[in-house]
């Protein structure tokens, strides 16, 4: 996620807020800081872990409803800027992604911003802010299957959480989970799996509204199968390691029961 976000450092918008991130999300040219986060999430295989919205206020509410909004930074968190008395309300003015934090500051990569302090954003920049500024409202925590690095003491001891109270950066993140192959009912699923049952699985995922296919489902398991199944896992309320894009027996059997007769 963060590697993809950093790859756009130096990108500049066109005239009238024309930018690739809003376009990638199917939205018009607009203020695009939240579109940047959503588009990077989709490109990096993290759709569903961040809200698909152009509104910072909606993004804040999205995390809050899921119990994943904090006053403390975390690596990869979606930071939400804006004071309660501001024109867009708490956390409704601007957003970006946390690359690092110390006891006093956060380092962020964000779209529709600048490096001169003006209110007119024009590109993707790395910025540093004071952690305790009233402008820094809150942080939305993505549900990474490999876990989370956070400064929030209330999250200390949770499964998959690494607590770094004073400072952390990307080097402190746990290694990403490597998708593995599983066998369910005698058939393989996951990277390297081949067979007509993979095509059938893909068609059920399309019927479930969880398609990430740019072409129709096929018999060879590919990244689109992983992303589509992960979207299905999220849609039925699974999170963390249970939403890694690889079927479990319970998940597969539920998909078959609900959508097997629709293909």
263 band by pLDDT with thresholds 50, 70 and 90:
confident
pLDDT given at position 178:
65
Give the other-Cβ count within 10 Å of 47's Cβ: 17
Q: Could you tell me the pTM of the whole model?
A: 0.73
Distance in angstroms (rounded) separating the CA atoms of residues 120 and 31: 10
Report H helices in the chain: 2-6, 20-24, 33-43, 56-65, 196-207, 223-235, 249-259
pLDDT given at position 74:
98
Each residue of 203-249: pLDDT tens digit?
A: 999 999 999 998 889 999 998 999 999 999 999 998 877 888 999 99
Q: What number does CATH give the domain 182-262?
A: 1.10.101
Each residue of 141-196: pLDDT tens digit?
A: 999 888 899 999 999 999 889 999 999 999 999 877 666 789 999 999 999 899 99
Each residue of 9-35: pLDDT tens digit?
A: 999 999 999 999 999 999 999 999 999
């Amino acid at each position: 996620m963060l590697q993809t976000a950093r790859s756009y450092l130096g990108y500049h918008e066109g005239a009238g807020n024309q930018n690739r991130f809003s376009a990638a999300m199917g939205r018009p040219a607009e203020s695009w800081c939240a579109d940047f986060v959503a588009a990077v999430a989709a490109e990096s295989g993290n759709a569903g872990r961040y809200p698909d919205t152009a509104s910072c206020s909606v993004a804040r509410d999205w995390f809050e409803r899921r119990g994943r909004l904090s006053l403390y930074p975390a690596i990869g968190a979606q930071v939400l800027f804006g004071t309660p008395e501001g024109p867009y309300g708490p956390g409704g003015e601007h957003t970006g992604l946390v690359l690092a934090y110390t006891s006093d500051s956060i380092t962020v990569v964000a779209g529709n911003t600048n490096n001169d302090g003006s209110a007119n954003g024009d590109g993707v920049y790395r910025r540093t802010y004071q952690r305790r500024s009233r402008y820094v409202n809150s942080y939305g925590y993505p549900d990474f299957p490999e876990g989370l690095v956070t400064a929030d003491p209330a999250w200390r001891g949770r499964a998959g959480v690494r607590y770094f109270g004073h400072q952390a950066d990307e080097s402190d993140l746990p290694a990403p989970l490597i998708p593995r192959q599983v066998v369910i009912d005698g058939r393989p699923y996951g990277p390297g799996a081949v067979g007509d049952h993979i095509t059938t699985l893909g068609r059920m995922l399309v019927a479930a509204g969880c398609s990430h296919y740019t072409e129709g489902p096929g018999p060879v398991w590919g990244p689109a199968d992983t992303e589509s199944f992960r979207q299905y896992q999220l849609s039925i309320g699974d999170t963390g390691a249970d939403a890694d894009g690889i079927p479990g027996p319970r998940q597969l059997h539920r998909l078959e029961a609900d959508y097997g007769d629709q293909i």
